[in-house]
Amino acid sequence: MGRTMMLFLDPKVRQHKKSQKQIEGTFLLVKNRVIADDEISDYCNDCFEVLSYHEEYDACYCEPCNAWREEACTDPTCEYCELRPKRPLT
């Protein structure tokens, strides 16, 4: 029982710092923008700008490229694809 226990406390500088939350996954870095793997389908394949949606033709298109990013369906009675122009912005 005659033993003395000594405790040494580290200064605040040496205390364990909380590590920053690490993000795991696959990402694409384009034009100083980080695009997650699951969001790549929302971007243009050519210029990597965000795709827009045209409600009248029910299809996505890229404004800078002025091109449809979804092909027209092959159904001859489709009310959306039947009247769709070659370029979305005319």
User: pLDDT tens-digit profile of 7-41?
Assistant: 777 666 666 666 777 878 899 999 899 999 999 99
Nearest to 28, CA basis, from 37, 38, 41, 19: 37
Rounded to two decimals, what is the model's pTM? 0.68
Number of Cβ atoms within 10 Å of the Cβ of 80: 15
CA 10 from chain centre, in angstroms, equals 43
Is it the case that residue 6 has pLDDT exceeding 70? yes
Residue 50: pLDDT band with limits 50, 70, 90? very high
**Beta strands of 1-90 (E only): which ranges?**
27-30, 33-36, 52-54, 59-62, 67-68
